Amino acid sequence: MATLLDLPQSRTIFWPAVFTLAQREVIRFLRQRSRLIGALAQPILFWILFGAGLRGSFQSNDGASFQAYFLPGVAVMIVLFTAIFSTISIIEDRREGFLQGVLAAPVSRLAIVIGKLLGGSLLAVSQALLFLVIGPALSFIGLTESVPLGLTISNILPVIGFLTLLAFALTGLGYMIAWQMTSTHGFHAMMSVFLMPMWLLSGAFFPAQEGWLKWVLAVNPLTYGVAGLRQLLRPESATNLPTWNTCLLVTVLFAVFCVTVACWQTSQRSIRNVR
């Protein structure tokens, strides 16, 4: 017996469903002013305070200052936090009954996943690009030292493309985590014990060291996202970093894994989704 998901009309409304869910994520974000301000305020504070505090104790292999080294790491932090927090709406939607209505609609589960991930990725990429412009510009008012912008006509499209790929992967990761949660408190706890260390151990804050720490960074998929973005913004920093092709391959595989698991989770029947 055919189900709603097998009906031909479900195929014709795939992209409208995707765009509607993505638009809903963007509108929800723009209407929450505190979230809009906080999404950029915290990374900029990190950029200013850590840049000033660690300026004299940091040594880079290519002679870059700490803030020049830290710039791609802060951009990835923005992508990570924005992408992850955008998926917290899954828990809220389940509690409010919206998720149950979406799951009962005659659209494929893939459309639901892609719509949520697309909305979160758009928000993450737009804020990261905004920071890459605002961050170096703070040197004009004396809050930071002079740092090259990094964005040029020749690399703007590769930077946007790579950030989009990374944002899609991280939003998928957030989706995987949020789908298993029944409260936002558990989600925030996961942020503290898993996602924050994941960023800290990605080479965003400090370069790889010898010993066990080097191996931790090597198995962290976010390491390759940070390294890939760093090479796009500062090609001269490619020394002692994974090759660009390696960074791209690992990020693609990470994105495919997260999206695949998210689709599988959504296709499973769960008692949580009928509450």
pLDDT digits (tens, 9 = 90+) for 142-184: 677 777 767 788 889 999 999 999 999 999 999 998 888 877 8
pLDDT digits (tens, 9 = 90+) for 105-141: 777 888 889 999 999 999 999 999 988 888 777 777 7
Res. 63: pLDDT tops 70: no
**172-to-28, 182, 256 alpha-carbon distances in Å:** 19, 18, 9
Nearest-angstrom CA–CA distance, 261 and 263: 5
Nearest-angstrom CA–CA distance, 224 and 230: 10
Closest CA to 21 of 85, 116, 90: 116
Phi-psi region of 150 (alpha: psi -120 to 50; beta: other; left: phi over 0): left
Res. 8: pLDDT tops 80: no
Q: Which residues contact 179 (CB under 8 A, 6 or more apart)?
A: 90, 262, 265, 266
For the entire predicted model, the pTM comes to: 0.86
